[in-house]
Amino acid sequence: MSSFFLSNANKRKKKNTKLKSSQKKTSGSRKTKVVDEDVGSDFDFESEEQANRDIDYSEDETAQEKRLRLAKEYLIQLENEEKDNRQDISDSEDVVGERLQREVLEKQGNLERKIASSCICPSEDDIKILTGHRLSLTCLCISSNDKYVFSGSKDCSIVKWNLLIGCKEGKIPSGHVKCGNNENHGHIGHVFAIAISSDGKFLASGGQDKLIRIWNPEDLTHIHTFKGHREAVTGLAFRHESNQLFSASKDRTVKIWSLDEMTFVDTLFGHEDGVTAIDCMRSEQAVTSGGRDSSIRLWKVVAESQLVFNGAGGSIDCLRMINEKTFVSGSDDGSLSLWNVTKKKPLYTIHKAHKSGNTDSAYAPRESWTASVASARNTDLIASGSSDSFIRLWRCEDGNKSISSLFSIHMIGFVNALAFSNHGEYLVAGVGQEHRLGRWWRLKEAKNCLCIIPLFKASDVSRT
């Protein structure tokens, strides 16, 4: 029996020797073939020197040395990122240590910057009003570098705005519009949701046509289309520092997509009514509101579980995460609620936050639903919008256990979308003549516009 295994081992050895020799003969031709092939513009070429250095590392270094090398490279990368983002760094300042500490606190949900007390109520002259949509704006998102805003509308188009200059830079027209000989991949229904990845490589949009379309944010070219939802897509959210995309729909489901592989990952079931909003942060979990089922659900993807939070009543139409543990929601009964993941009921609720039939406004003759909410991430500043002709700013107090009013900003129309810039110095609002999810009534006096609202004095912006 031993001679049998020895003979087979010798055969395998000879066979492997032949394979290695044949690979050496063909390696030159294979290398030439790779060089001759077309490579996409996003392919990252390494220098020959760097490639040789990697080979040396892999052959000589131990596992511990490799971990140490990768850790040093990561720290250098963090330091360079901080230097790019901030111009006022002193030599003695430990920017890497502060960055790591900030990330740990953010993951724990304990990071909080106090900026609400420094906010100022802007005058009407300070607010930039940008027009470019024919019908009501329904959604918007801001790039991570605070340079661009992308907005969606009931006219089925998507517009790219320059936040710093205050002008329109590009547009994805409706799918009904012919664009010469080029195929138009625009939406053929109302755009209800839009989101951009934290690395700025992907822009996702969804709407009434049940499709999720992926775009290049730089030139607004179409990249891919996801199909799977059976009803309108009402919410989109990218996981922070990841290309994992969450989508919500009126078909009562939440879906997960991977944009690295451009593929579908999973479907989450639980809501008893159409999902109206979705949000997520760094952790692999998402928060959704279920409209008239009066519930909010926290989906824990890794654990394959969900937490159910019960609202006081009415349709929960909008929500936004403040940090990993706290989030805020708005309902069609005009209420604004503050939640924590450890409690099944709201920590604090302001009833009629946007008062019905407000006597201060001639343009709010009907119910003032809370149509949109926004939070400056990991701060004590939140905002809400309705149709009562005001955007209202609020401050979280007592360790995010209560809410108090700061001031109101005059704004005629349905405030269908709100978003703070990265540091909270700007609040961007999407305003329309109609509610984003329906046509119950119309405010003819309103403009379909994007509003850029400064919230700090110029001297305070760098500090925040």
Query: Is 52 inside any structural domain?
Result: no
pTM comes to 0.76
Query: Is 410 inside any structural domain?
Result: yes
Q: CA–CA separation, 435 vs 137, rounded Å?
A: 9
- Residue 368 has a pLDDT of 83
Q: CA–CA separation, 97 vs 350, rounded Å?
A: 39
Helix H, strand E, coil C: the string for 372-396 is EEEECCCECEEEEECCCCEEEEEEE
Query: Is 100 inside any structural domain?
Result: no
> How deeply is 363 buried, as exposed, middle or buried, from its count of CB atoms within 10 A (0-12, 13-18, 19+)?
middle
Which pair of structure tokens corresponds to residue 180? 């010469």
Match 């900026």 to its residue by tokens: 115
Which pair of structure tokens corresponds to residue 411? 């704004």
Match 């110095």 to its residue by tokens: 425
Long-range contacts of 160-165 (CB under 8 A, 24+ apart): 160/217, 160/220, 161/130, 161/132, 161/450, 163/421, 163/426, 163/428, 163/452
- Residue 354 has a pLDDT of 87
* pLDDT tens digits in sequence order for the chain, 464 residues long: 443 333 444 444 444 444 444 444 434 433 333 333 333 434 343 444 444 444 445 567 788 877 788 877 777 776 777 666 655 555 556 666 665 655 555 555 555 788 999 999 999 999 999 999 999 999 999 999 999 999 999 999 999 999 988 899 999 999 877 765 566 789 999 999 999 999 999 999 999 999 999 999 999 999 999 999 999 999 999 999 899 999 999 999 999 999 999 999 999 999 999 999 999 999 999 999 999 999 999 999 999 999 999 987 789 999 999 999 999 999 998 999 999 999 999 999 999 898 754 444 444 446 688 999 999 999 999 999 998 889 999 999 988 899 999 999 999 999 999 999 987 889 999 999 999 988 888 899 999 999 999 998 654 544 44
Query: Is 224 inside any structural domain?
Result: yes
CB atoms within 10 A of CB 53: 12
Q: 326-331 and 336-340: which strand pairing? A: antiparallel
Helix H, strand E, coil C: the string for 246-285 is EEEECCCEEEEEECCCCEEEEEEECCCCCCCEEEECCCCE
Cβ within 8 Å of residue 233, ≥6 positions away = 192, 193, 206, 207, 210, 211, 212, 247, 248, 249
Query: Is 293 inside any structural domain?
Result: yes
pLDDT in tens, 291-313: 999 999 999 999 999 999 998 77
Q: CA–CA separation, 152 vs 194, rounded Å?
A: 7
Query: Is 341 inside any structural domain?
Result: yes
Contact call for residues 428 and 451 (beta carbons, < 8 A): yes
Query: Is 424 inside any structural domain?
Result: yes
* CATH number where 421 lies: 2.130.10.10
pLDDT in tens, 142-174: 999 999 999 999 999 999 999 988 899 999 999
Query: Is 32 inside any structural domain?
Result: no
Write out the residue range of the structural domain in which residue 325 sits. Answer: 128-461
Q: CA–CA separation, 127 vs 175, rounded Å?
A: 32
- Residue 59 has a pLDDT of 61
- Number of separate domains in the chain: 1
